[in-house]
């Protein structure tokens, strides 16, 4: 389990300012990612798309220091913070739509809390499929529960709980429909308020 003190290592408000309940939900989510990571073994080379400051990859890289992690994110400032906080992670600025300069041979690609932000999520999935990793871990908000959680917390009330940056919305059934043209779903699970999937490229 990620300790509460881990959250203070990040500048991103959703981590640094997370209250006790939100921290608990994020800790449970990270545990679900960890469990899928274990199930994906054997894993040596890991790529996280949308790595941000490195919340997930940083946690996993410290837990499994023998594995090699690479992180890609659109935000140069986040990549700089990631490199300072987790120097063992190879980090680069990039987009989910164009991973062409990355070498092949990743055992696992993680794409967590990214697809809901993209106007063409299948294009990003096609890029992941092209890298031909052994396994993929994907996660998105579980709707309508994610929006309901925001409403109950008094967030985004005018948008009925919807995050202004979320342009796609899925539940487990619709998320499976998005994934299955390109990936075999090995496990679909939930960690409120998220949906997570372990898959293998077709």
pLDDT in tens, 31-43: 999 999 999 999 9
Buried b (16+ CB within 10 A) or exposed e, 69-108: bbbbbbeeebbebbbeebeebbbeebebeebeebeeebbb
Confidence band of 18 (pLDDT split at 50, 70, 90):
confident
> Strands 90-93 and 108-112: what pairing?
unpaired
Whether the bond between 72 and the residue before it is cis, its omega within 30 degrees of 0, is no
pLDDT single digits (tens) 65-85: 999 999 999 999 999 999 999
- Looking up tokens 């993209």, which residue turns up? 118
Q: Which domains does the chain have, with CATH numbers?
A: 4-201 (3.40.50.150)
Burial (CB < 10 A; 0-12, 13-18, 19+), residue 165, is exposed
pLDDT of 112 > 70? The answer is yes
């Amino acid at each position: 389990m990620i300790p509460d003190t881990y959250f203070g290592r990040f500048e991103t408000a959703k981590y640094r300012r997370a209250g006790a309940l939100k921290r608990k939900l994020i800790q449970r989510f990270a545990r679900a990612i960890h469990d899928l990571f274990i199930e994906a073994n054997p894993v040596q080379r890991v790529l996280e798309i949308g790595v941000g400051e490195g919340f997930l990859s940083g946690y996993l890289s410290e837990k499994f220091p023998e594995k090699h992690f690479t992180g890609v994110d659109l935000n140069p400032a986040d990549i700089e913070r990631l490199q300072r906080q987790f120097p063992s992670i190879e980090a680069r600025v990039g987009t989910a739509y164009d991973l062409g300069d990355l070498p092949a041979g990743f055992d696992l690609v993680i794409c967590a809390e990214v697809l809901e932000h993209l106007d063409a999520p299948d294009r990003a999935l096609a890029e992941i499929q092209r890298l031909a990793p052994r396994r993929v871990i994907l996660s998105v908000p579980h709707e309508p529960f994610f929006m309901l959680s925001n409403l109950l917390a008094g967030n985004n009330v005018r948008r009925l709980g919807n995050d202004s940056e979320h342009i796609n919305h899925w539940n487990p059934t619709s998320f499976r429909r998005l994934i299955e043209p390109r990936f075999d779903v090995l496990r679909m699970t939930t960690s409120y308020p998220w949906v997570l999937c372990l898959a293998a490229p077709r």
